[in-house]
Amino acid sequence: MDTVLWIVIPCYNEEAVLPITAPQFLAEVHDLIGKGKISDQSRVLFVNDGSRDGTWEIIKTLAAQDAHYLGICQSRNRGHQNAVLAGLMEAKEHADITISIDCDGQDDITAMEAMVDAYHDGCEIVYGVRSKRETDTFFKRATAQGFYKLMNRMGAEVVYNHADYRLVSARVLREFANFKEVNLFLRGMFPLVGFKSTSVYYERRERLAGESHYPLGKMLALALDGITSLSTKPIRVIMALGCFVALLSFIGVIWAVVAAALGKTVAGWTSMTCIICFVGGVQLICLGVLGEYISKIYLETKARPRYIISERTYQDEP
């Protein structure tokens, strides 16, 4: 089979886990080559996302050991999404299909075979979906599931329980390259490209070594970024909220006038304070949401590069 597969793996401070998982990725590639599903030209591409530990040295050593391993290095840490994008854009020049996956072994590497099969059946995008999250802590599971529900409520279409483990064909990547935004939320952007897609289910495991880089704070930031990058629904929601509050205020005014006309006015300190506080709070929230969009516009108008590759483990032809 002459389908060239590149596996794209973002790595940030992963020296603990990389020596364990790298051979697993390579074994999977050899397995798929052996079964005649992909070409021997297939590669495992590590994207070092400005790690501060020995990750890049490990990647360089791996690349020297086996021609199937490749590495590119970002000039500094830019975050998971940008690292994946850098790898995918690199791969689209050389590969027919790419599979992006985290380097910590949480996502079932053997699910790649089903993904490649789905591609051979005509799908251009194959989403890896976690069927169970039993190995996640209760907190991680609850917050992650809340994240997907919130995303969908807010109008950002995402595949439930799909993170960034997915097969994408070079054809889709060429179209995807025209999505020029700098605020990246890949799992919400690929469905926008269209083409035939499907899902492959797998069980998510525990991280093999090292620590998660997505604590609650970062996950909330990602959710907020995802929503405000993909959907303008929050603006509609505050519009509706504004109408509702205006209606309430209108009723309040009538009530106040009627009360005054009936001569029942007492020093209405409590109600006054409540109204001022309530309206003030609502206004601040609305301003915050608007500010979020304005800051996005600000970043987009700058159109800064989304990734900068400083080094490669290969020169021209990988």
Nearer to ligand UDP, 10 or 188 (CB): 10
77 binds, among Mg ion, ligand UDP, none (CB under 5 to 8 A by kind): ligand UDP
11 binds, among ligand UDP, Mg ion, none (CB under 5 to 8 A by kind): ligand UDP
14 binds, among Mg ion, ligand UDP, none (CB under 5 to 8 A by kind): ligand UDP
Nearer to Mg ion, 111 or 154 (CB): 111
- The least CB distance from residue 106 to Mg ion, in Å, is 4
Residue partners of 145: CB distance under 8 A and separation at least 6:
133, 161
- The least CB distance from residue 127 to Mg ion, in Å, is 17
- The least CB distance from residue 310 to ligand UDP, in Å, is 15
- The least CB distance from residue 101 to ligand UDP, in Å, is 8
Length of the chain: 318
103 binds, among Mg ion, ligand UDP, none (CB under 5 to 8 A by kind): ligand UDP
In which order are the strands placed within the sheet that holds 5-11?
Answer: 197-203, 125-132, 162-169, 97-100, 5-11, 43-48, 69-74, 309-312
- The least CB distance from residue 53 to ligand UDP, in Å, is 11
- The least CB distance from residue 51 to ligand UDP, in Å, is 8
108 binds, among Mg ion, ligand UDP, none (CB under 5 to 8 A by kind): none
Nearer to Mg ion, 101 or 116 (CB): 101
Nearer to Mg ion, 63 or 144 (CB): 144
Give the interface with Mg ion as residue ranges (CB under 5 A). Answer: 102, 104, 106
214 binds, among Mg ion, ligand UDP, none (CB under 5 to 8 A by kind): ligand UDP
Nearer to ligand UDP, 14 or 28 (CB): 14
Give the interface with ligand UDP as residue ranges (CB under 6 A). Answer: 10-12, 14, 49, 77, 79-80, 83, 102-104, 106, 212-214
Strand partners of residue 97: 5, 169
15 binds, among ligand UDP, Mg ion, none (CB under 5 to 8 A by kind): none
Nearer to Mg ion, 28 or 102 (CB): 102
- The least CB distance from residue 287 to Mg ion, in Å, is 35
